[in-house]
Amino acid sequence: MSLLEVQNLRVTFDTETGPVQAVRGVSFSLGRERLGIVGESGSGKTMTGRSVLRLIRPPGRIAADRMVFDGQDLMRASERDMRALRGKRIGMVMQDPKYSLNPVMTVGEQLTEGLRRRDRIRGAEARAKAVAALEAVQIRDPDRVMAAYPHELSGGMGQRVMIAMMLIPEPDLLIADEPTSALDVTVQAEVLSILDALVRDRGMGLIFISHDLRLVGRFCDRVLVMFKGRVVEELEARRLTEARHPYTRGLLNCLPRIGGPREPLPGLDRSGDWAKEGAA
């Protein structure tokens, strides 16, 4: 049985200029694996991820034929049930980590808050767990970072704090929205290997949202390619470079390469039928 099943998910925002359909009928299922979601900016990746946690603020609305996590119907769950799932069984690393962290609480307070509230672990034990989580994500001086406020962190440090915070409760499902976009390649490799180990050894399910096609291609098991709120292609990650859809092919084609020519990068040709409104 799959860990998460989503059928015909739609997210709509009612704005002054009419409804904006951010997600238009997305379906997928996730086992204990690494599922990548790629696709252009504004295609609905974040909204898809947030929908699973029902974290869409009004005027946004979620509708789905089915959204089930480990046997629990997420569309029917009460707000209270959702609160119990969030951060505990389902974690989400937000795309804007520094914005998502609490600006007036130290990193240490934020990392240990869940432990105190949920697991009634406090004091030295909570602190030790938090420090270990920071060390795992390659933070050089965890003691200083524990005492720091979010604005005192670099972009990539904020991202790693957010990842550490989500991993402490050992979730069954982690939704990671651009979790490594601010990390240098060597630290990124370490963070990915932590995520990988959680999937392999603990059977966590991972939804990995990223713009980095090459990263998704080598790290994930499967990939969904989104365009204008729809999944236009689903394929095995290691076959990403063999993608058929003109949109996916176009995306791969726009990437710069080390040692590549200095001419303008090819753009995405949007004249094809696939790019027309309503096309799937």
Residue 100 burial (CB count, 10 A): 15
Partner whose binding site includes residue 252, from another protein, ligand ATP, Mg ion, none (CB under 5 to 8 Å by kind):
another protein
Candidates 3, 6, 9, 22: give the one binding ligand ATP (CB under 6 A): 22
The conformation of residue 141, written as its DSSP 8-state character, comes to -
| 40-58 CB burial, b ≥16 within 10 A, e <16 | beebbbbbbbbbbbbbbee
Q: What is the closest distance, in whole angstroms, from the C-beta atom of residue 272 to another protein in the complex?
A: 13
Is position 186 an interface residue for another protein (rule: CB under 8 A)?
A: yes
Q: What is the DSSP letter of 266?
A: P
* Interface mask toward ligand ATP for 58-77; x: CB under 6 A: --x-----------------
- Binding segment toward Mg ion, per CB under 5 A, in 8-16, 86-94, 115-123, 147-155: 147-155
Shortest Å distance, C-beta 123 to ligand ATP: 26
Among 249, 275, 277, 253, residue whose Cα is nearest residue 265: 253
Q: What letter represents residue 237's amino acid?
A: A
Binding ligand ATP (rule: CB under 6 A), the pick from 30, 35, 47, 137 is 47
**In Å, what is the CA distance from 70 to each residue of 115, 118, 189?**
23, 20, 30
Residues 27-46 that bind ligand ATP (CB under 6 A): 39, 41-46
Please tell me the distance from the alpha carbon of residue 210 to that of residue 36, in angstroms, as a whole number.
7
3-class state of residue 127 by DSSP: helix
Query: What three-state secondary structure class fits 29?
Result: strand
Considering the rule CB under 8 A, would residue 102 count as an interface residue with another protein?
no
How many degrees, rounded to 5, is the angle at CA 258 between CA 254 and CA 262?
65
155 binds another protein (CB under 8 A): yes
For the CB of residue 260, give the shortest distance to another protein in the complex, in Å: 5
Q: Should residue 191 be labelled a site residue for ligand ATP when binding is judged by CB under 6 A?
A: no
Interatomic CA distance for residues 203 and 1, integer angstroms: 13
- Residue 52 φ then ψ, to 5°: -60, -35
Interactions with ligand ATP, residue window 106-165 (CB under 6 A) = 151-157
Residue type at 246 in one-letter notation: P
**Residue numbers 113-152 binding another protein by CB under 8 A:** 140, 144, 147-148, 152
38 touches another protein (CB under 8 A): yes
**Which chain residues interact with another protein by CB under 8 A?**
13, 15-17, 38-43, 46, 95-96, 98-99, 140, 144, 147-148, 152-160, 178, 181-189, 211, 213-215, 217-218, 250-252, 254-262, 264-268
**Which chain residues interact with ligand ATP by CB under 6 A?**
13, 15, 20, 22, 39, 41-47, 60, 95, 151-157, 182
